[in-house]
Amino acid sequence: MFKIFPALLILFVAEIAVIIKVGQTAGVFGTLTALFVSMMIGTVLVKLSFRKAVVSAAEDPVPRLSLLWVPLAGFFFIFPGFISDVLGLLILLPPLQRLLERRLMKKAGMSGISGFARGFEHRHYGGTTVDASYTEVEDPLPQDSGKDQKKD
């Protein structure tokens, strides 16, 4: 978790350096236009990928790591700069997603998607599981509590 902050700081500094270099070449208006266009293209790509992920999640209720990539790509597209836009675009590519998933699984000590999904299965700790249903029935004869009985 603590490795993320230095990485984002390095990314931020690199983005500023690239924006300055592009600004020297293309000018201020050209640079701002390119940043805006790349942000809009990224927004459209993330929206399409999100729709695809929602349909996939509706068809298969087991959580998949592929759902992680869309918000991460969206973050990179929102982060201003050219490097982050390229990273966001790369993250949306399925071959790179599979590579990243394999690396995450290996690091987490899991194998394949089934290893990830296994964390969401119900665990049974012995004993007997009974699958049953019930119907609530009202008592046709109210039970007499004995208060209404007359003493002879």
Q: Which residue has the higher pLDDT, 36 or 57?
A: 36
* 111 within 8 A of 105, measured Cβ to Cβ: yes
- Alpha helices (runs of H) in 60-93, residue ranges in sequence order: 66-78, 82-91
Residue closest to 62 by CA, chosen among 131, 112, 102, 99: 112
Q: Which amino acid is at 62?
A: V
Higher pLDDT, 58 or 84: 84
Give the tokens for residue 120.
């969401």
pLDDT at 22: 93
Q: How many CB atoms lie within 10 A of CB 38?
A: 19
For residue 148, give the 3-state DSSP assignment: coil
pTM score over 0.75: no
Q: From the CB of residue 66, how many other CB atoms can be counted at a distance below 10 Å? A: 18
In terms of pLDDT, which residue wins out, 55 or 63? 55
pLDDT band at residue 27 under the 50/70/90 scheme: very high
pLDDT at 122 over 70: no
Domain positions in the chain: 38-118
Q: What's the pLDDT band for 100 if we cut at 50, 70, 90? A: confident
